């Protein structure tokens, strides 16, 4: 099987590369090959591919956000024309973060800011294309690659004796290795059973706050830096962040036969790769 992957240097794309084997060929398109601000050019790459499925793992920057709702839709339409499975990664930011119950894929959306709105528009474009597709909403992506919360905590923990961190935003940290495996499984299964199309959630278990996750990182790495819990109101940010990003993974598990990722095992792997796991 051959999969065309939009994205090459992002966290998920780098984990996808590790999944290639004799039975699976992955072709990666970086920004030089696939200009995400040019939806028509991205669609043309799908028109010309000999791949069996498409994964959109491109990592968008702030500059790209105005275009983010257009490129996925154009790519999905091109894939649908050829009946190619299209796997797309979205975010928990499509929800308003109210309450304490885990959001299911069919719960009403209500993004709090521009990022969530553009990601939701991207989802809608992929769904409207009408082809075999899987949209995976995920949260708090972490890995040994790129910039993410784990690497930030390791840096701050080594530099400081104490710092504060938000303790009232809750979500499931999600290792990119698990996201990559899920995307590949979905692409493979959609090839043989297009009826599995839809929107799904993949997030790590158990759900924790930023502060709880920081404590876990320090415990596993042996860092003695102290963390003081604070409410979000003490740490204002330009963009509003949902307080509750708990997500129900049931339909993902039932449809694709995959477990909900345990971020504790994933975190150990990440720290081991970074050489930060205590003996």
State the catalytic residues: 115
**CA-CA-CA-CA torsion sign (68, 119, 69, 20):** positive
The DSSP result for the chain, as a single string, is -EEEEE-SSSHHHHHHHTT-BTTBEEEEE-TTTS-TT-HHHHHHHHHH---SEEEE-PPPPGGGTTTTTTHHHHHHHHHHHTT--EEEEEEGGGS---SSSPBPTTSPP--SSHHHHHHHHHHHHHHHH-SSEEEEEE-SEE-SSSS-HHHHHHHHHHH-SEEEEE-S-EE--EEHHHHHHHHHHHHHHHHH-GGG-EEEEE--BS-EEHHHHHHHHHHHHT---EEEEE-GGGS--SS---SEE-B--HHHHHHH--PPPBHHHHHHHHHHHHT-S--
Mention every residue, 6+ apart, whose C-beta is less than 8 A from residue 275.
Answer: none
Q: Which of 57, 64, 2 is nearest to 39 (CA)?
A: 64
Residue 89, φ and ψ in degrees, nearest 5: -100, 125
Q: Cis before residue 206, ω within 30 degrees of 0?
A: yes
């Amino acid at each position: 099987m051959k999969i065309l992957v939009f994205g090459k240097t992002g966290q998920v794309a780098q984990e996808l590369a590790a999944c290639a084997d004799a039975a699976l060929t992955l072709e990666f398109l970086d920004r030089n090959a696939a200009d995400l601000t040019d939806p028509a050019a991205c669609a043309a790459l799908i028109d010309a591919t000999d791949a069996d499925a498409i994964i959109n793992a491109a990592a968008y920057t702030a500059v790209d956000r105005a275009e983010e709702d257009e490129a996925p839709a154009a790519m999905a339409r091109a894939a649908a024309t050829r009946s190619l499975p299209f796997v797309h990664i979205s975010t928990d930011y499509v929800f308003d973060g109210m309450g304490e119950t885990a959001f299911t894929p069919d719960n009403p959306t209500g993004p709090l800011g521009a990022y969530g709105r553009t990601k939701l528009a991207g989802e809608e474009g992929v769904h409207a294309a009408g082809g075999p597709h899987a949209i995976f909403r995920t949260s708090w992506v972490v890995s040994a690659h790129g910039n993410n919360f784990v690497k930030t905590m390791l840096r701050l923990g080594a530099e400081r004796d104490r710092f504060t961190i938000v303790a009232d935003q809750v979500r499931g940290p999600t290792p990119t290795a698990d996201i990559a495996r899920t995307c590949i499984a979905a692409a493979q299964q959609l090839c043989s059973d297009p009826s599995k199309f839809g929107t799904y959630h993949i997030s790590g278990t158990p759900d924790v706050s930023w502060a709880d996750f920081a404590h876990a990182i320090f415990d596993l790495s042996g860092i003695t830096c102290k963390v003081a819990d604070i409410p979000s109101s003490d740490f204002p940010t330009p963009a509003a962040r949902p307080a509750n990003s708990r997500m129900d993974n049931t339909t993902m598990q039932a449809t694709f036969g995959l477990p909900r990722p345990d971020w504790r095992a994933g975190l150990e792997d990440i720290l081991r790769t970074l050489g930060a796991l205590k003996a």
